[in-house]
């Protein structure tokens, strides 16, 4: 299995979801996202939401990483453009 997999290509107009090994870096995640599912914006996918302050919606806990239900060594992350 790849270290990072795009699982939902669109979540609203500015987000998508990936399933990644828990130790995947933002740079690794963004590289895969911009290669496999370009955002279509000038800057492409620019951030991985890991903390409450990482999202422009404010304190949206639903945007935080969650444990993958299928693999205990992986998490689901939201990526923003």
Residue 58: predicted pLDDT:
58
- Judged by phi (left if over 0) then psi (alpha if -120 to 50, else beta), residue 33 lies in alpha
Residue 53: predicted pLDDT:
73
Residue 62: predicted pLDDT:
79
First vs last C-alpha separation in the chain:
26
Mean pLDDT by 10 residues, the chain (81 residues): 94 92 97 95 94 69 90 96 91
């Amino acid at each position: 299995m790849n270290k990072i997999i795009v699982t939902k290509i669109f979540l609203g107009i500015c987000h998508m979801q990936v399933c990644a090994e828990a130790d995947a870096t933002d740079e690794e995640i963004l590289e895969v996202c911009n290669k496999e599912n370009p955002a279509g914006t000038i800057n492409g996918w620019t951030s991985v939401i890991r903390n409450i302050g990482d999202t422009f919606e404010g304190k949206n806990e639903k945007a935080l990483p969650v444990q993958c239900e299928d693999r205990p060594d992986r998490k689901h992350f939201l990526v923003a453009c």
